[in-house]
Amino acid sequence: MEKQILLVDDEEDIRDVLSVYLKSNGYEVYPAENGEEALKSFRKYKPPVVLSDIKMPGMDGIELLRKIKLESPDTEFIMITGHGAMDLAIASFQDQAADFITKPINVNMLDVALKKVREKIVSRRLLREYTENLEKLVREKSELQSHLSSLGLMIGSVSHGIKGLLTGLDGGMYQVESGFSKENTQQIEEGWKIVKLMVERIRKMVLDILYYAKERNLNWENVDVLSFAGEVAMVVERKISSGNIEFIRDFDASAGKFEIDSGCIHSALINILENAVDACTRDKSKERHRIIFKVTPDEKNINFEVCDNGTGMDMETREKLFTLFFSTKGTRGTGLGLFISNKIIQQHGGSIKVSSLPDQGSKFTISIPKTTPGCLKDKSVSES
């Protein structure tokens, strides 16, 4: 600990004697002959201890004590009092002087006072360190806890999902085997289709989970909106197997460029478009379906619209659809898709709006700023 002390007394002899004594005890001493000078010196050197005469012309010791305590409550003050100034000494305690010694100064008394003050400073420093450590621990613990509880949820939901998919896989394998033993090619083919489908779903689930679990920084690039949207559309078109779903691109040619992590926004849009495909496939109430994928710029944003005439959603689903693991698709869904999309879009400073009616279809509107606010750019994915 630094041994610095501000020494204030109007009597030169006392200053000299005490200076010599304190220096010989390893202190760095800043002498001052009055309150004003002392205050100046205090502001310059910020010593942890002040040793000051109580009665001085001009600003007296008590006033100095009050001023210093106001600026620096942790600074310790030892008052030097003459005989007959006991009442002043006692008053100084009320202003939080740590101790006082009387004139003529007895160095043993001074040593005791200094020792006391130093102990006080050390224990205050330790206490502060403990408190800071404790706060840090509490913070880390609650972060860990929320990670753990979402991990627990995740493991439960994922095991459940994978168990269902494995049962499907077993069924497919059984078909294949039994087809082989009966030399029934058609049965083999049907079984093989199921096996491929199940493997594809397990792959998708695992990829989604990996995506969610990974911590990464966004990789910002300037991207041409139309070619980007074209690539996204192509991926979805390839996935539409039924001839009864029409996929319509409606791109505004003047869309220009925007600043995004293209990998992330790509996944976010694919998740939303895949849900639209699912909603059409699952909807048995209509013969034909269509999905419109629209892109329009406005002054600040690029707006993507995904509109389907599939199953639509009831109110409960509309309220929960962004919740982690919420899915109405049973073993076919993971409930990760929209959770991830929402997170990604937020990280881009964008927004998602949903409107939907049961049996009529749904519309998702995603707005992403053309240039991302600087403050978002150095954030990593796990933080928000």
Ligand X SMILES: Nc1ncnc2c1ncn2[C@@H]1O[C@H](COP(=O)(O)OP(=O)(O)O)[C@@H](O)[C@H]1O
Pick from ligand X, Mg ion, none: which does 327 bind, CB < 5 to 8 A by kind?
ligand X
Question: Which of residues 98 and 233 has its CB atom nearest to Mg ion in the complex?
Answer: 233
Phi, psi of 311 (to 5 degrees): -65, -30
Rule CB under 6 A: is residue 339 a binding residue for ligand X? yes
Question: Which of residues 172 and 312 has its CB atom nearest to ligand X in the complex?
Answer: 312
Considering only residues 325-344, where is the footprint of Mg ion by CB under 5 A? 337
Question: Which of residues 61 and 337 has its CB atom nearest to Mg ion in the complex?
Answer: 337
Question: Which of residues 275 and 342 has its CB atom nearest to Mg ion in the complex?
Answer: 275
CB 165 to Mg ion: min, Å: 15
Check: CB of residue 306 under 8 Å from CB of residue 298. Answer: no
Cα–Cα distance measured from residue 213 to residue 382, given in angstroms and rounded to the nearest whole number:
9
Question: Which of residues 41 and 362 has its CB atom nearest to ligand X in the complex?
Answer: 362
Considering only residues 260-319, where is the footprint of ligand X by CB under 6 A? 271, 275-276, 279, 308, 310-313, 317
CB 333 to ligand X: min, Å: 3
Candidates 60-68, 158-166, 273-281, 313-321 — which segment interacts with Mg ion by CB under 5 A?
273-281
Rule CB under 5 A: is residue 157 a binding residue for Mg ion? no
Q: How far is CA 118 from the centre of its chain?
A: 40
Pick from ligand X, Mg ion, none: which does 27 bind, CB < 5 to 8 A by kind?
none
Question: Which of residues 276 and 366 has its CB atom nearest to ligand X in the complex?
Answer: 276
CB 339 to ligand X: min, Å: 6
Nearest residue to 343 via CA among 306, 373, 380, 288: 380
Nearest residue to 257 via CA among 371, 346, 365, 345: 371
Question: Which of residues 31 and 312 has its CB atom nearest to ligand X in the complex?
Answer: 312
Rule CB under 6 A: is residue 333 a binding residue for ligand X? yes
| Sheet with strand 28-32: strands edge to edge | 28-32, 4-8, 49-53, 76-81, 99-102
Question: Which of residues 35 and 337 has its CB atom nearest to Mg ion in the complex?
Answer: 337
Rule CB under 5 A: is residue 47 a binding residue for Mg ion? no
Cα–Cα distance measured from residue 180 to residue 185, given in angstroms and rounded to the nearest whole number:
7
Q: Scan for tokens 């003529």, then name that residue.
A: 104
Nearest residue to 51 via CA among 85, 24, 28, 84: 28
Give the burial class of 161: count Cβ atoms within 10 A of its Cβ; 0-12 exposed, 13-18 middle, 19 or more buried: buried
What single-letter amino acid sits at 15? R
The only residue of 47, 48, 172, 335 in contact with ligand X, by rule CB under 6 A: 335
Closest residue to bound Mg ion by CB: 337
Candidates 32-40, 70-78, 174-182, 329-337 — which segment interacts with ligand X by CB under 6 A?
329-337
Pick from ligand X, Mg ion, none: which does 321 bind, CB < 5 to 8 A by kind?
ligand X
Check: CB of residue 287 under 8 Å from CB of residue 242. Answer: no
Extract the tokens encoding 16: 């000299």
The only residue of 262, 334, 347, 372 in contact with ligand X, by rule CB under 6 A: 334
CB 169 to Mg ion: min, Å: 21
Candidates 7-15, 151-159, 188-196, 325-333 — which segment interacts with ligand X by CB under 6 A?
325-333
Question: Which of residues 144 and 357 has its CB atom nearest to ligand X in the complex?
Answer: 357
Give the burial class of 139: count Cβ atoms within 10 A of its Cβ; 0-12 exposed, 13-18 middle, 19 or more buried: exposed
Per CB under 6 A, residues contacting ligand X are: 271, 275-276, 279, 308, 310-313, 317, 321, 326-329, 333-335, 337-339, 362
Per CB under 5 A, residues contacting Mg ion are: 275, 337
